[in-house]
């Protein structure tokens, strides 16, 4: 899709007499880091802070994925908050190593440990020195205080910290690194299927497609199977290139930029492949890197998707949508809605991102004059805007049910978290197949709403 400038509509709003977030559209940074660590084979996340932080993250993740997940804690007390958490961290590492025998332990800091100034890197070096000659798990540390960012900041920080801790150089291989961003387990499986069909050897980091969406067990397993092997992460500095998905990552210090600067591994930044335009760019990059043409099955998927666009155009054309969630999810979803004829009237994220308007508008076509693009937003803010501009459909996670209920319009659930439906981890968003599913769900939600709100109803369209 050709990039065009977009004129943004502004809503005149009286400045409130308070500064606060009401009904936040974001989550805490250690939560994002924990998801990354669960995407590493044999890795246990360890929250360096209070037990409540670990409990909150565990509850939130289980509610979405419907899978057991252990989140360890260094269990701060009042005394720890005063004198520091070095002893607590050492005890936690000893306990985890003894009880789980993990391949790695991913340590994420919290607001409390960062506020008191705990030098976790120094603690880790002291722990390694005290256990010299003893086999211990790989130790990864991500600095993730929530007052400095959202769950996405924690996610990207954990990926980068993992690569910095483990990746090494060496003879250049033909392997590809893929950093997919915060996608569903189904999305990760589909991306791996695509890479396999292009005959790539690759390392995906993180990969929680099995660890957080696995099979039923007859006996409880402390460490669920799956995840990116530690040995594969160590070899990422020898790969030929790293594809990272998410337009906002182009200007950030990421795992891909570190690999490029340190080991000369080429970094390629693409948007999340939602919609035909973004998916075409993704497949085009794979064709160029592999020297292979797109497999026929994906050509057919694309063709069926184009046909579906034609079939459903009369339903979606001119409708106005609210999109919210992670910045890159919103940007890719806005581009997709634009190409099917829905106006992305409000594009919002809870994160504070200076270039958010630029990221979103770069994927939109010319002619939109009434689009509001808002970062650092909350659901109360969104509700006020929606009431003033008029919208037909909402697309985002379960927290947006608040909007749907107050505005009496349909909510198409996508992204994270999905708490009020089953199968959130299996929603496919990416590729031609994922776009097809999203398109069908959006069209059917609009039809169902029109049908149910009709005085007489109808059974044929």
φ and ψ of 40, to 5 deg: -110, 135
Phi, psi of 274 (to 5 degrees): -115, 130
Average pLDDT, stretch 85-114? 96
What is the tally of structural domains in the chain? 2
Domain boundary pick from 100, 129, 149: 149
The per-residue pLDDT for range 327-362, each reduced to its tens digit, is 999 999 999 999 999 999 999 999 999 899 999 999
Q: Provide the residue range defining the domain that includes 336.
A: 312-453
Mean of pLDDT values over 83-89: 92
Q: Which residues pair with 248 in a beta bridge?
A: none
What CA dihedral angle connects 375, 6, 313 and 435, to 10 degrees? -50
Model pLDDT, residue 14: 54
User: How far is the CA of 206 from the CAs of 133, 148, 241, 412, in angstroms?
Assistant: 29, 22, 16, 26
Provide the CATH number for the domain around residue 329: 3.40.50.1980
Contact 40, 48 (CB under 8 A): no
Tokens at residue 115, please? 């506020």
Confidence of residue 24 (pLDDT cuts 50, 70, 90): confident
How does residue 458 score in pLDDT terms, banded at 50, 70 and 90? confident
The pLDDT of residue 275? 97
DSSP of 254-266 = -HHHHHHHHH-PE
Torsion region of 109: left, alpha or beta (phi above 0 gives left; psi -120 to 50 gives alpha): beta
> Which residues have C-beta within 8 Å of that of residue 186, sequence separation ≥ 6?
209, 213, 425, 426, 427, 428, 434
Q: Does a structural domain hold residue 447?
A: yes
Which residue among 102, 120, 149 closes a domain? 149
Q: Is residue 188 part of a domain?
A: no
The answer to whether position 432 is within a domain reads yes
Which burial class, exposed, middle or buried, applies to 307 when counting CB atoms under 10 A from its CB (0-12, 13-18, 19+)? exposed
**Residue 138 in domain:** yes
Is residue 305 situated within a structural domain?
no
The string of pLDDT tens digits covering residues 247-294 is 899 889 999 999 999 999 999 999 999 999 999 999 999 999 999 999
pLDDT on residue 78 = 87
365 occurs within a structural domain:
yes
- Domain boundary residue among 126, 149, 172? 149
pLDDT score of 4: 46
Distance between CA atoms of 347 and 358, rounded to whole angstroms? 12
Mean pLDDT score, 376-403: 95
> Cα dist. 243→269, 279, 334 in Å?
6, 14, 22
Tell me what pLDDT residue 17 has. Answer: 54
The residue that leads in pLDDT, 45 or 7, is 45
- Coil, strand or helix: which one is 413? strand
Q: What is the mean pLDDT of the chain?
A: 93
Mean of the pLDDT values across residues 372-383?
94
CA distance 136 to 90: 12
Q: What is the pLDDT of residues 298-315, one digit of tens each?
A: 999 999 999 999 999 999
- Per-residue pLDDT reduced to its tens digit, 194-213: 999 999 999 999 999 999 99
pLDDT(25) > 50 = yes
């Amino acid at each position: 899709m050709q990039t065009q400038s977009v004129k943004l509509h502004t809503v005149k709003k009286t400045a409130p007499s308070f500064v606060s977030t009401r009904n936040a559209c974001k989550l805490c940074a250690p939560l994002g880091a924990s998801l990354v660590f669960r995407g590493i084979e044999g890795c246990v996340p360890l929250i360096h802070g209070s037990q409540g932080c670990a409990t909150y993250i565990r509850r939130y993740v289980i509610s979405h994925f419907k899978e057991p997940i252990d989140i360890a804690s260094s269990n701060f007390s009042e005394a720890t908050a005063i004198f520091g958490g070095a002893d607590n961290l050492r005890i936690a590492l000893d306990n985890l190593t003894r009880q789980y025998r993990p391949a790695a332990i991913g340590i994420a800091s919290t607001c409390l440990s960062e506020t008191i100034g705990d030098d976790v890197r120094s603690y880790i070096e002291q722990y390694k020195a005290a256990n010299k000659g003893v086999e211990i798990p790989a130790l990864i540390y991500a600095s993730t205080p929530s007052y400095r960012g959202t769950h996405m900041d924690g996610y990207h920080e954990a990926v980068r910290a993992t690569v910095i801790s483990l990746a090494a150089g060496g003879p250049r291989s033909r392997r590809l690194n893929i950093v997919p961003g915060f996608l569903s387990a189904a999305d990760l499986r589909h991306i791996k299927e695509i890479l396999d069909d292009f005959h790539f050897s690759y390392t995906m980091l993180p990969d929680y497609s099995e660890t957080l969406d696995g099979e039923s067990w007859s006996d409880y397993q402390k460490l669920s199977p799956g995840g990116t092997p530690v040995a594969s992460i160590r070899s990422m500095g020898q790969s030929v290139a790293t594809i990272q998905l998410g337009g906002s990552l182009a200007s950030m210090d990421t795992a891909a930029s570190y690999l490029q600067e340190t080991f000369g591994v080429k970094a390629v930044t693409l948007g999340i492949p939602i919609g035909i335009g973004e998916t075409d760019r993704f497949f085009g990059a794979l064709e160029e890197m592999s020297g292979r043409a797109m497999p026929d099955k994906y050509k057919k998927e694309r063709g069926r998707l184009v046909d579906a666009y034609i079939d459903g155009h009369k339903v979606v054309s001119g409708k106005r949508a609210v999109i919210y969630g992670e910045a890159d999810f919103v940007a890719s979803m806005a581009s997709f809605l634009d190409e099917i004829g829905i106006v992305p009237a409000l594009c919002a994220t809870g994160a504070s991102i200076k270039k958010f308007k630029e990221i979103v508008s770069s994927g939109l076509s010319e002619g939109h004059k009434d689009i509001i693009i808002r970062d650092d937003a909350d659901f109360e803010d969104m509700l006020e805007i929606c009431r003033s501009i008029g919208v037909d459909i909402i697309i985002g996670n379960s927290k947006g049910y608040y909007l749907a209920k107050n505005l009496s319009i349909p909510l198409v659930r996508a992204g994270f978290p999905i708490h009020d439906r089953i199968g959130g981890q299996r929603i496919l968003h990416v590729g031609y197949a994922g776009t097809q599913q999203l398109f069908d769900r959006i069209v059917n939600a609009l039809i169902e709403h029109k049908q149910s709100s009709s005085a007489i109803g109808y059974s044929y369209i």
